[in-house]
Amino acid sequence: MSKIQVLPPHVADLIAAGEVVERPGSVVKELMENSIDAGATVLTVEIKNGGMTYIRVTDNGCGMSSEDAQTAFLRHATSKLKNERGLEAISTLGFRGEALAAIASVSRVTLKTREKDSPEGTEVRLEAGEITDVSPSGCAYGTTMIVENLFYNTPARLKFMKNDRAEGLAVTGAVLKEALSHPEVSVRYIRDGKEECHTAGDGRPASCLYTLFGNDVFSGMLPAETDMDGVKVSGFVSSPGSARGNRTHQFFFVNNRYVKSKTLQAALEQAYKNSLFTGKYPACVLYITIPPGEVDVNVHPAKTEVRFLREKAVFDGVYYAALAALDRQHDRGELSLPEEKPPVMKGRVSVPSGGFKTVSAESYRSGGGMRPVSVERGFFRRPAVRDYSVPYTVTPKKPMPEPEPEEQASFLPEAPKWRIIGEALKTYIIVEVQDGIVLIDKHAAHERMIFDRLKAAGDKPMTQILLAPVIFPLSPEDMDVLTENTDFFRELGFEAEEFSSGRAAVREAPEDVDAADIPETVTEICEKLRSGKTADAATRRDEALHTIACKAAIKAGKRSETPEMQVIVESVMHDEVRYCPHGRPVAMDITKAQIDKGFKRI
């Protein structure tokens, strides 16, 4: 007996549905794209219970005839592609003719549609993909698609759905991307009876961006534009000061379609290479226009991953658009060098190459009496314990250059085994010790100190109740994480909640964290929670403490006061902190011998 059978159509639809319809958000995406393809300029999206019980998309597009309204639900039914030659020049959003069949097979669908010149419209009802009723309808021009009880007939899939809140946020994300990709379409979005947003549809990305993200985000964006080598790029990129802790605010649209692409991401980030700290990501809303034949959108069923025929040209377009935007930026305070003279060192000394000993995490871990520390060119040995206890007078044979009066070097009482000379490059504290100089990365050292203190403090750190809650925008994905982990945040010292759609409110925070740093801190912890789902509870807590310590620590690039420096130097000199929580060294030794050698004294 033959074992091979052709799958019955409804089984094939269910399988296809798994690819196209993952969750309510993907249904909304498909329905909105169909409306846009139908030439709609006004769209209303309404959902209830995160879209699980009810999704409605109404448009003023071309509508369908009674016949088309029924064939639209057949698998591979599409009006957008007649033969294989059409594939290359495709410019509409959908073309597989799968979406409606897939959606209908796992829900209850009601379609009301009417063509412009038609005296009456049609209503079609389906249950689990089977048409149950077709009747004339006195509906308005355009199309309304209602999808109810998604996955009611596929319990296995239903089980994979998150709670209504999470699914609703994913729908919000989908609406946002569609609205941004078509600023010429006015999108109104209603969630559980409440209007969440309403874009103007005036064709201007700027007004769309402003409506969807609010002034906070909008004011940190710079206009970007290029047109080279057949690749047109326009839109907005964030100023370095408005960078974020993750990539959720990077939106790329190719030929008005939201896409994900490593090439585009890399091109954007390359432009910020020298203006952002690691762990910071630029935000963008960039529209890339290329000939339709040069992009392959058919890589993934959900159609967000793309491939480019001329990868390099697309990369350059985005890279130069962002670079030019950054160059044009008027406010370049954060990139400019300080005017004032360095406090102590006069003249220029270049340290011989290979002349540094770095105290790295690796070298400490290796243990043993003698710890070899390898650097690029050279191999040094240093004693196991840094010994600064040798009595040390601060009057060397050759007098040190006199510090400027206002920058008097500070001495610690009684134990002048080292002295702070000053601060260089607003980043490194310079300390003179018996046999050389120690450079301390003040941020890394301080970060470690705070991290250790927070860890030692046990369950809940000291907190501050904020006079006014700090309210800030948060992506749907991060909001999801925040609301699902309120207890986790509370244990860290944050009282945080969803304030309104897309905005979070923090009423209480660890006392170490400045109010101004709260948004970044919370966003970064959310991002870590999302990416480290499998990590155990202790690791997750440590990761979050790292973030808090990093934000609370004095920052490189800001001048520090002497008392601040003293506390840090003391801690480093007593070997209490050796490397920052990320394993980077906090101190670097330059011996007198190395300096003497550089000056050819020895």
Termini Cα distance of the chain: 94
Tell me phi and psi for residue 595, to 5 degrees: -70, -45
Q: Which of 60, 78, 363, 591 binds ligand ADP (CB under 6 A)?
A: 78
Q: How many CA atoms lie within 13 A of 63 on its CB side?
A: 20
Least distance in angstroms from the C-beta of 27 to ligand ADP: 11
Q: Which of 25, 43, 95, 183 binds ligand ADP (CB under 6 A)?
A: 95
Least distance in angstroms from the C-beta of 80 to ligand ADP: 5
What CA–CA distance (Å, rounded) separates 469 from 506? Answer: 5
- In this structure, are residues 499 and 505 in contact, taking their beta carbons and an 8 Å threshold? yes
By beta-carbon proximity to ligand ADP, the closer residue of 98 and 520 is: 98
Number of residues that bind ligand ADP (CB under 6 A): 23
What CA–CA distance (Å, rounded) separates 506 from 510? Answer: 11
* Other Cβ atoms closer than 10 A to 12: 14
By beta-carbon proximity to ligand ADP, the closer residue of 96 and 371 is: 96
What CA–CA distance (Å, rounded) separates 507 from 592? Answer: 52
Q: Is 61 in the site for ligand ADP (CB under 6 A)?
A: yes
Binds 59: which of Mg ion, ligand ADP, none (CB < 5-8 Å by kind): ligand ADP
Q: Is 96 in the site for ligand ADP (CB under 6 A)?
A: yes
* Other Cβ atoms closer than 10 A to 581: 21
Binds 571: which of ligand ADP, Mg ion, none (CB < 5-8 Å by kind): none
Region of 59-67, 320-328, 430-438, 449-457 interacting with ligand ADP (CB under 6 A): 59-67
By beta-carbon proximity to ligand ADP, the closer residue of 297 and 359 is: 297
Q: Which of 63, 94, 183, 469 binds Mg ion (CB under 5 A)?
A: 94
Least distance in angstroms from the C-beta of 545 to Mg ion: 47
Q: Is 99 in the site for Mg ion (CB under 5 A)?
A: yes
Binds 419: which of ligand ADP, Mg ion, none (CB < 5-8 Å by kind): none
By beta-carbon proximity to ligand ADP, the closer residue of 77 and 276 is: 77
Q: Is 38 in the site for ligand ADP (CB under 6 A)?
A: yes
By beta-carbon proximity to Mg ion, the closer residue of 60 and 360 is: 60
Q: Is 77 in the site for ligand ADP (CB under 6 A)?
A: yes
Residue whose tokens read 């790329």:
252
Least distance in angstroms from the C-beta of 106 to ligand ADP: 14
By beta-carbon proximity to Mg ion, the closer residue of 94 and 476 is: 94
Least distance in angstroms from the C-beta of 96 to Mg ion: 7
What CA–CA distance (Å, rounded) separates 76 from 216? Answer: 44
What CA–CA distance (Å, rounded) separates 378 from 46? Answer: 67
Q: Please, which of residues 26-65 interact with Mg ion by CB under 5 A?
A: 34
Q: Is 105 in the site for ligand ADP (CB under 6 A)?
A: no
Q: Does the CA dihedral 232-238-243-249 come out positive or negative?
A: negative
Q: Which of 14, 45, 47, 64 binds ligand ADP (CB under 6 A)?
A: 64
Least distance in angstroms from the C-beta of 459 to ligand ADP: 52
Q: Is 79 in the site for ligand ADP (CB under 6 A)?
A: yes
Q: Which residues pair with 473 in a beta bridge?
A: 503
554: three-class secondary structure by DSSP: coil
**The CA-based dihedral angle spanning residues 506, 507, 508, 514, taken in that order and rounded to the nearest 10 degrees:** 60
Least distance in angstroms from the C-beta of 40 to ligand ADP: 7
Q: Is 174 in the site for Mg ion (CB under 5 A)?
A: no
Least distance in angstroms from the C-beta of 92 to Mg ion: 8
By beta-carbon proximity to ligand ADP, the closer residue of 29 and 528 is: 29
By beta-carbon proximity to ligand ADP, the closer residue of 56 and 280 is: 56
By beta-carbon proximity to ligand ADP, the closer residue of 79 and 463 is: 79
What CA–CA distance (Å, rounded) separates 415 from 411? Answer: 8
Binds 72: which of ligand ADP, Mg ion, none (CB < 5-8 Å by kind): ligand ADP
Least distance in angstroms from the C-beta of 214 to ligand ADP: 30
Q: Which residues pair with 585 in a beta bridge?
A: 579
Binds 62: which of Mg ion, ligand ADP, none (CB < 5-8 Å by kind): ligand ADP
Q: Residue 328, class by beta-carbon neighbours within 10 Å (0-12 exposed, 13-18 middle, 19+ buried)?
A: exposed
Number of residues that bind Mg ion (CB under 5 A): 3
Q: Is 59 in the site for ligand ADP (CB under 6 A)?
A: yes
Q: Does the CA dihedral 588-593-598-599 come out positive or negative?
A: positive
116-133: buried (b, 16+ CB within 10 Å) or exposed (e) per residue?
eeeeebbbbbbbbbeeee
By beta-carbon proximity to ligand ADP, the closer residue of 42 and 375 is: 42
Sequence-distant (≥ 6) Cβ neighbours of residue 63 within 8 angstroms: 38, 113, 114, 115, 116, 118, 121, 141, 142, 143
What CA–CA distance (Å, rounded) separates 46 from 188? Answer: 8
Q: Which of 99, 221, 284, 492 binds ligand ADP (CB under 6 A)?
A: 99
Give the rounded distance of the alpha carbon of 345 from its chain centre.
41
Region of 97-105, 370-378, 419-427, 460-468 interacting with Mg ion (CB under 5 A): 97-105
Region of 92-100, 233-241, 246-254, 452-460 interacting with Mg ion (CB under 5 A): 92-100
Q: Which of 100, 326, 504, 544 binds ligand ADP (CB under 6 A)?
A: 100
Q: Which of 51, 94, 168, 220 binds ligand ADP (CB under 6 A)?
A: 94
String of contacts with ligand ADP for each residue 141-180, x by CB under 6 A = --x-------------------------------------
Whole-number Cα distances in Å, 109 to 9, 60, 121, 180, 235: 18, 19, 16, 27, 37
Q: Which residues pair with 109 in a beta bridge?
A: 126, 147
- In this structure, are residues 342 and 403 in contact, taking their beta carbons and an 8 Å threshold? no
Sequence-distant (≥ 6) Cβ neighbours of residue 362 within 8 angstroms: none
- DSSP string covering 33-85, please? HHHHHTT-SEEEEEEEGGGTSEEEEEE-S----HHHHHHTTSTT--SS-SSGG
Which is it for strands 503-510 and 463-473: parallel, antiparallel or unpaired?
A: antiparallel
Residue ranges binding Mg ion (CB under 5 A):
34, 94, 99
Residue ranges binding ligand ADP (CB under 6 A):
30, 34-35, 38, 59, 61-64, 72, 77-80, 94-101, 143
